[in-house]
Amino acid sequence: MINNHINYIEFKAKDLLAIKAFYTSAFHWTFVDYGPDYVAFAGSGLDGGFERTEEEVVNGALTVLYHEDLALAKQQVIDARGTIVKDIFSFPGGHRFHFGDPSGNELAVWSDK
């Protein structure tokens, strides 16, 4: 581990089973359960976890994933029952889209292709 580099990211989720199903289907992440209220994930490029909450989920950060084929990544999100928040658009350095997961977290996928 390196000082001052992002090492872990944590999200809130109302339904851990739905979260695991979504990220497994859309991005092939793997999970380890730590009791009924927490699940850690791996295989995303950065380790993290989801904490179960009954409160409304408010996203404080935009986490951006990379995929060389945005159309494929977008379809995988749709197939996993995610929602497209912003369709594919250009920005300096590439293209990206934003999606919502089953708990309302907003993330993005970008590509330089």
Note the pLDDT tens digit of each residue in 11-60.
989 999 999 999 999 999 999 999 999 999 999 998 899 989 888 887 65
The answer to whether the Cα torsion of 4, 53, 64, 67 is positive or negative is positive
Catalogue all structural domains in the chain, each as residue range(s) with its CATH number. 9-54+62-111 (3.10.180.10)
Average pLDDT of the residues of the chain: 91
pLDDT at 57: 82
Tell me, what's the pLDDT at 6? 72
Q: Can you tell me which residue has the tokens 């580099």?
A: 5
Per-residue pLDDT, averaged over 65-94, amounts to: 94
* pTM summary value: 0.75
Confidence at residue 3, expressed as pLDDT on a 0 to 100 scale: 75
State in Å, rounded, how far the first CA of the chain is from the last one: 30
Closest by CA to 23, choosing from 2, 51, 49, 3, is: 49
- What are the strands of the beta sheet with 9-13, ordered from one edge? 9-13, 48-52, 38-42, 30-33
Quick check: 105 pLDDT over 70?
yes
Look at residue 43 in the predicted model and tell me its pLDDT.
Answer: 94
